[in-house]
Amino acid sequence: MRVWPRHWWPRTLGAQLVAVAATAMVVSNVAVGIWFAATQEQITEAAITERLLDRAVSAATLLSGIPAREREAAVQTMSSGPWRFRLVYGKPVIHPMTDEEARYAARVRAMLPPERAKQPIAVSFRTGVLPPAAGLPNAMARSGTIVEVTLPVVRRTELVSGFSRPASPSWPLEVGIAGLVAMVTTSMGAALVARRIARPISQLAAAATEAARGGAAPRVPEEGPDDVRRAAHAFNLMTDQVSRTLESQRQLLSAVGHDLRTPITAMRINSEFIEDVELRERIQKSLEELQELTEAVLSAGRGAGGEKTRKIDLAALIESLCTDMDEMGEPVSWSTHAAAPITCRPNEIRRAVRNLIQNAVAYGSRAEVCLDAKPDCYDIIVEDDGPGIAETDRKRVFEPFVRLEASRSTETGGSGLGLTLVKAIAEGHGGHIALENRSERGLRARLSLPLEPAGA
């Protein structure tokens, strides 16, 4: 099935409503104009034919009452404009008529007195040229549909009345101007209605986009038609509920974190009194893992929570982080980049990039970090030489506590919250994180951050 290109069709609801209204008005005007022209032509032709028949009968009656020597002068006097009259002498010649011509001949017969109605009458329609009237040298010939009516005047004298019926008039300029005015007026009315409908929907879409990007969704004005008003009201209720739920989760995580830190600290202090060195080290290692897991859960839960945004040099932040990790013996390389000003929460961005680099080192042997500047965002790219991630698992790795050691490394480790935290930070800034396998080998992580974060 062929899909026709639709780049010519307006994309916004308001513009589509205006286009539909204007198109409907044009189509209706054209249809009315065609109907009017067709019916008006029929009415005009019928009226003209009735006038012709009446005038022909009147002329024949008039000529029958004046002396024969004055009839030719009278015929010439009556011939003017689209009318031509002439007298024919001798035995009448009857030509065959069509059904329409015979019908008009019957109507002429009904207009005549009974004694003259019995004589031959003929009506003919032909296309041709009506010659100038005799005795009028400056008169012009007329072309078009010629209607001729042959009527008896007196015995052996007939009057042939000819009439040049004008062509159907073209649509006057006034009709076009009226159609244009109607289209403009309708379009303006449609624009007002479209604005009333489309503006709340646009505000609703903008608020939903802001919420999807992780920002604080503004309340949508509950205005417009009932359906749109109900949708805005439902959206406001939903965002209020989501905000309350998220706030409850943050408070719960803060309380849990506080409650966990206290016993972990006490257990770590008490572990110092264990005399068995091996047992003490195992317990302390377990406590450290528990502490790291608690901090990771709290960070993932907070996402883009409390830190204030400020303008920094993103390239300098990443370079500093890569330098620190390189000095710690991590195989990390950084491609130098020009200054990259951005408004963000720098500690969160540092944590997200560190998690990506640590994953690349742990599962891909090394990390190559670079920065790609775009008109509206920056892409932080981290590549490794590992086996990559199957396409079916690229979304699942962002879920909490999901690890793919079997597919990416034979070693275990980590809490499974690193990429979850990266995703939360990216979305909290209005950006996103994407994973893709490199064509040669390895995985490429692309962290996209807008120049201005959501909810900044």
pLDDT tens digit sequence for 96-125: 888 888 888 888 888 888 777 778 888 887
User: Mean pLDDT over residues 167-181, rounded?
Assistant: 63
Task: For the chain, give every domain's residue range.
Answer: 42-132+140-165, 211-299, 306-450
Task: Compare 417 and 168 and report the one with higher pLDDT.
Answer: 417
Q: Quote the tokens at residue 173.
A: 């300029």
pLDDT of residue 353: 92
Regarding the domain delimited by 211-299, which CATH topology (the fold level of the hierarchy) does it fall under? Helix Hairpins (1.10.287)
Percent of the chain predicted with pLDDT > 70: 73
Q: Quote the tokens at residue 141.
A: 């010939």
- DSSP per position, 341-393: EEEE-HHHHHHHHHHHHHHHHHHHS-EEEEEEE-SSEEEEEEE--S----GGG
Q: Quote the tokens at residue 411.
A: 């070693």
Question: How are the residues of the chain apportioned to helix, strand and coil, as percentages rounded to the nearest 5?
Answer: 55, 15, 30
- Fold: same for 42-132+140-165 and 306-450: no
pLDDT of residue 138: 47
Kind plus residue range of the DSSP H or E element containing 244: helix 226-271
Least confident segment among 183-192, 269-278, 368-377, 425-434:
183-192
CATH class, 42-132+140-165 region? alpha beta
pLDDT of residue 408: 44
Task: Compare 373 and 284 and report the one with higher pLDDT.
Answer: 373
Regarding the domain delimited by 306-450, which CATH topology (the fold level of the hierarchy) does it fall under? Heat Shock Protein 90 (3.30.565)
Kind plus residue range of the DSSP H or E element containing 281: helix 277-302
